[in-house]
Chain A
């Protein structure tokens, strides 16, 4: 408690700063579709702050997604308060007690489902004296609005919390805004996956593409085929994802409005599968004798399809999202060519010497398996390039080439009527010296020759962090804030965000906010954050 004389001095002083300091309101990343702010600002006392449900909201207290979000966002909005330090007591004594309420109104839908491709993420946010009104069609939109609100609140140099009068009308430009992590080339501990999901929500990403297995290791612990991980993981106990790990990831993602789409890439990229599943991979031959090495999945055996059917049935029961990524990229035909049984099968099927037909045959079978399970497949562009017969609702993901290449590919795929995802310009595992986030930012996903209808088939894009050179030691700073640059491209209006130089100071601010939230986001250039990263 301060003695009364200083109290008066302090009060005068406070009045002075309240009147004189017109701090710049803080921008939101990614930029909302429409935002208008005025210099009017309101002091917020954390002890008199609350989140609440509007009376006419379908979601009310007990809504799992929003109850959890209120708790989470309180700490994000008031970082000092969460630190247990700060000015809460101070402002409590000296300021007129004024309450501030964020009132959330959800129009329709439940709280216990999972976000999906139809989820409506739009929201309107209106901040005025004493309250903010957040209106959303669904809880998923409400989550996006809460994130924006949390970024609007700032601290002045006396660490008091303020928010400016603001009106936001916002919705995503693309429905699919994904981030790929690769847990096969290096194992990523569950904690770092959860941390990444937190950071994704801060940038309004909504899909976690879990490239869970690949050649080097098979960390997914399957309950139908436990040998896959017990023999194919880097270590059968310490380097695996148990069923409960997977459930934790999915639950954590759901609460943040993030879909989890697993990728089980076949028929290539499957070396690790072979260790725990005999006869799955094609034995390669040297002349007449097996060489002891193995190639892609053996597409000629019916046991292969029985296994795949069993595995994808399990995948369906474990991963609630209606999409599944089937891979289909980079299949090396050499081993197939060397194998006499495969050769015989080619003749029998009348494929001649065209191994792309064999691959098509395999992929069609897999797609049929997943379609029968009501799963929508995503495949890498290779599958389309081979002219494979795939269902019209398949999503094709572009990963190859320079802009001229991927723009042409966008044109071709959408002309054929398929929905498409763009990843080629967002391979952020590729690093270089300097501000390479600028390249990620200036991508134009709909800039290709095609009709309006074709453009609409671009459902979004994905940032890919392949794991050759990345593990828990360096993943987070390599990912953030570089991925945030792509996030703005996928969420915001392209014309309003066409200037990289205008984005720069906003992104600098945003990265300091990420650090304040415990995300180890690396610097864009020289400078500092008020609160530097305090970990290692």
Chain B
């Protein structure tokens, strides 16, 4: 039978509820209100004040509008779309046209005015690492006002506003008088999806971009190709997917698919950073690009199998130059992820041409030098396209000479990530953390708690070093994940990462987090995201997809 201790659970819940109330509403002293308790903001804003005064919102008349003094207007389609999306979230797609909707309550909130202050609202731009995502939200009658420098902050504020609205027992929509000043702790808040080990249909990717916006993530790290398959349809080298994908038509991302993902993400303030990992993790590349991979040898004869990219041929670099030229135009983000992890040297070692090359170059038996040689040339190629790059930590560990703006992605469990973060930042490089956030690793129970506790700045280093941490990324590698189980496996576990990366570092009380996260997960379910439960209980509206 189910071995669990129900009594313990209820005890824990009681404690957490009281902690939560005291904490959230400390500025308002004795104020307690069951309905406001229903408001569970996730991730928690930096500064938040609310009062017991509640206003009603009418589905028939409530509007989200551009403030008169806003620099953005109806021609800003990004905001127009966001207004409609958040209206739907708030009112659950139900538009009431009842005749009794005419009556106006004294305390009705008629509209939310969105005020963009910067001379360029960036309606048609792309978010970047430097993007200002801060916003201010004042909810009061007759109108609530959301202020932000540009559309990106406005998107974050709209999400918060939508989370403030709650339904009372009569199904009416209410919002309390509230004042919020908010900004992210880290500029880089990512999710990695792996579309190589299993192909992910567009629908799955788009749904997860939706869920990311609900959790204020701003980077989709698209681990688009790997050993197992090459679904990216390259216009320059169509054979890569024609031969390297699981299927050349049903399991590929066409240029218009990629465009759709990028635009869908842009509309939600999310950057799309593609990863084309080399020289390892490239088995699928070899199928469509002859001579790209190193032929492995057994003694003096080729075995017929292939290893990493062949670093000694000029043709390799010609290929990479043309390929990354295409990639740099397809993906508008200023950064590309170049991988560089887990290179197995045994095939290089077996190959007589490579042995010769090692001697020529004076590398001795140190194949890390050969890897560095390759990476160095690759980085030069990518630099020439005016892109910055992110690489996995091994590139740093192996002593490759890196441009100052290189971002190093920490993922390994050994050495301890805290030590690695300290070393990387001591060397003056920017870094982002994933080690504690490999969400593909599952276990029984509430593992979101460990995820929540990890902190990217928790290492020994100076304040200057800490500032070099640009953020982190939750990774959902694809060995055991495809469209059937991806979404419930990722959410709400990734939400725990979302709060760690957005909210103040002192927001770490597990009880408060549990209390808000169970409600936030029900909110995601209500919005059509099959986010799995944290523990037993229920949502007023259960998931009704199948």
Interfacial residues, chain A to chain B (CB-CB below 8 A): 182, 185-187, 189, 191-192, 195, 214-217, 234-235, 238-239, 265, 269, 271, 327, 329-330, 380, 382, 399, 429-434, 466-474, 476-478, 515, 518, 520-528, 530, 532-536
A471 near B485 with CB under 8 A, answer: no
| Shortest Cβ-Cβ A-B pairs, 7 listed | A477-B485, A474-B488, A473-B530, A234-B538, A329-B1, A528-B246, A474-B532
Point out the residue from A468, A522, A536 that lies within 8 Å of B530, measured CB to CB. Answer: A536
B229 at the interface (CB under 8 A from A): yes
Task: Using A235-B538, A523-B484, A533-B484 as known contacts, list a sample of 16 further A-B pairs with CB atoms less than 8 Å apart, ordered by residue number in A.
Answer: A186-B537, A216-B6, A216-B536, A265-B1, A269-B1, A330-B1, A330-B3, A470-B532, A470-B533, A471-B542, A473-B531, A476-B546, A477-B488, A515-B484, A533-B482, A534-B203
Contacts of B531 in A (CB 8 A): 473
- Decide yes or no: A528 and B247 within 8 Å by CB, A473-B525, A533-B484 being known contacts: yes
Question: Chain B CB within 10 Å — which of A189, A216, A265, A521 has the most?
Answer: A216
Point out the residue from B1, B228, B542 that lies within 8 Å of A187, measured CB to CB. Answer: B542
B478 near A526 with CB under 8 A, answer: yes
Interfacial residues, chain B to chain A (CB-CB below 8 A): 1-4, 6, 197-199, 201, 203-204, 207, 228-229, 246-247, 250-251, 440-445, 478-485, 487-489, 525, 528-538, 540, 542-546
- Decide yes or no: A523 and B482 within 8 Å by CB, A186-B533, A192-B546 being known contacts: yes
Contacts of A535 in B (CB 8 A): 483, 545-546
Q: Residue on A with the closest CB to B200? A: A532
Q: Residue on A with the closest CB to B446? A: A469
For residue A91, give the distance in angstroms from its CB to the closest CB of chain B. Answer: 21
B538 near A477 with CB under 8 A, answer: no
Question: Chain B CB within 10 Å — which of A185, A217, A431 has the most?
Answer: A185
Contacts of A185 in B (CB 8 A): 2, 536
Contacts of B532 in A (CB 8 A): 469-471, 473-474
Question: Chain A CB within 10 Å — which of B4, B440, B441, B485 has the most?
Answer: B485
A528 near B2 with CB under 8 A, answer: no
Q: Residue on A with the closest CB to B488? A: A474
B247 near A530 with CB under 8 A, answer: yes
**Interface pairs (29), CB distance under 8 Å:** A186-B533, A216-B537, A217-B538, A235-B538, A329-B1, A429-B444, A431-B443, A433-B480, A466-B2, A467-B2, A468-B4, A469-B534, A469-B535, A472-B546, A474-B489, A474-B533, A476-B484, A520-B484, A521-B484, A522-B480, A522-B481, A523-B480, A523-B485, A526-B228, A526-B478, A528-B199, A532-B250, A534-B201, A536-B487
B247 near A431 with CB under 8 A, answer: no
A227 CA to B99 CA in the complex, in Å? 37
Q: Residue on B with the closest CB to A234? A: B538
Contacts of A187 in B (CB 8 A): 538, 542
Question: Chain A CB within 10 Å — which of B2, B534, B537 has the most?
Answer: B2
Contacts of B199 in A (CB 8 A): 528, 532
Contacts of A471 in B (CB 8 A): 532-533, 538, 542-543
B530 near A525 with CB under 8 A, answer: no
Contacts of B535 in A (CB 8 A): 468-469
Contacts of B246 in A (CB 8 A): 527-528
Contacts of A536 in B (CB 8 A): 203-204, 207, 483, 487, 528-530, 545
Contacts of B482 in A (CB 8 A): 522-523, 528, 532-533
B544 near A522 with CB under 8 A, answer: no
Point out the residue from B247, B441, B488 that lies within 8 Å of A433, measured CB to CB. Answer: B441
B546 near A520 with CB under 8 A, answer: yes
- Decide yes or no: A468 and B2 within 8 Å by CB, A433-B442, A476-B546 being known contacts: yes
For residue A504, give the distance in angstroms from its CB to the closest CB of chain B. Answer: 14
